[in-house]
Structure 1
Amino acid sequence: MKKPWLGLLLLIGSFGLVVGVSGQTVEGVAFPEGYRTWTHVKSMIVEKGHPLFELVGGLHHIYANSKAMQGYQANPRVFPEGAVIVFDLLEPVKAENAVVEGKRKAVIVMEKDTRRFAATGNWGYAVFEGDSRRPVEINANSCYECHRGAANTDFVFSSFRP
């Protein structure tokens, strides 16, 4: 079965950074149990033609724990220790003149911890495959290299949509 989110891993792999699959955490970032009860930050659909389609094409929901919400609401935007942001990537399904959620492709997680993740802008990154919660072990430096473009917002691209 085709896994479009695999483009993210292929990009990471192109840097020689995919190192395999292991237990329940990746680079120290655990699967965020109960994240769908956290604050919903925003949703979007990345379609063909978008520069990131090959990496993360699909339906996105972004969730933030309470500490991450403090960061989203701060000015300037700085996220506190323990902030966790979840990027829930789903297959968009068009049916009866609507776009609805299909199968989950991946759960992508950012966790703020200045002690553990100092080398990557104080953020740890993880990718979990679909609903299986199977972590795909990655080198967070590749995530950090992309997120460096958002250094002025504490390495977070999304904004809270009240």
Structure 2
Amino acid sequence: MAELANPADTYQELVSASGEIAFPADFQTQLIHLGTNAVMGEGGEVQNLNGIYTQKLALEAFNQTGEWPDGTVFFKDIKFAKAEKLNTGTVYHQQGSDIFFVMVKDTRGRFVSSPHWSDGWGWAMFDPEPKANVSPNSSFCKTCHAPRQHTDWLYIDQYPALIAPKHLVK
């Protein structure tokens, strides 16, 4: 992946002319970590760990304006979790990759005819060995984001690095 530090570069570096979103392979060095959450299984064990990343400039812009700039990238890295009993107690740590999700902010409505772009975002899902977007459409992705439609489809209340305007957090 080329440099994605500036959201203004996203459309030339990560999105094709037809709206296909590429996998940002160097996300761990090109994007900043916003936070991690754990998803519990039905038995009460940690099932997976979800790490969320974005661009530093996008974060700074949001914290100043309450708006994500055009080209903002959100990357979600979902890892399987494994429990291990250590001296400090039961520790869950990441194992192999489960799946990846990418969102790209589109304030201009570039790809209205693409099934992967809607409501101001491009939506993509990648398998553990990411080659291409395997999501059938944006509706598939938005199902999980529906509870946060009022905050531009993002769970902004879960990331302490965000200084969201008070009217956005509910």
- Could you tell me how far apart the structure 2 residues matched to 1:67 and 1:82 are? 11
- 1:92 maps to 2:81: yes
Q: Which has the higher contact order (CA 8 A, sep 6+)?
A: 1
Find the partner of 1:134 among 126, 131, 134.
131
Find the partner of 2:51 among 43, 57, 61.
61
- Could you tell me how far apart the structure 2 residues matched to 1:86 and 1:72 are? 16
Cα shift at 1:87? 0.7
Change (3 A) 1:92 1:145: closer
* More divergent stretch after superposition (113-122 vs 99-108): 113-122
Cα shift at 1:146? 4.2
Q: What percentage of aligned pairs have identical amino acids?
A: 24
Matched with 2:68 is 79
Gaps of 5+ in 2: 1-14, 162-170
- 1:31 maps to 2:23: yes
Give the SS at the match of 2:147.
Answer: helix
Give the SS at the match of 2:155.
Answer: coil
Give the SS at the match of 1:156.
Answer: coil
Gaps of 5+ in 1: 1-23, 51-56
- 1:113 maps to 2:106: yes
* More divergent stretch after superposition (59-68 vs 146-155): 146-155
Structure 1 vs Structure 2 CA RMSD:
2.9
Cα shift at 1:144? 3.0
TM-score by length of 1: 0.68
Larger Rg, first or second structure (1 or 2): 2
Matched with 1:11 is none
Matched with 1:4 is none
Where in structure 1 do 4 or more consecutive aligned residues deviate above 6 Å?
none
Q: How many residue pairs align between the two structures?
A: 132
Give the SS at the match of 1:138.
Answer: coil
Give the SS at the match of 1:58.
Answer: strand
Deviations 1:11-64 (A, max 9, x none): xxxxxxxxxxxxx989521111321122111111100249xxxxxx51111011
TM-score by length of 2: 0.65
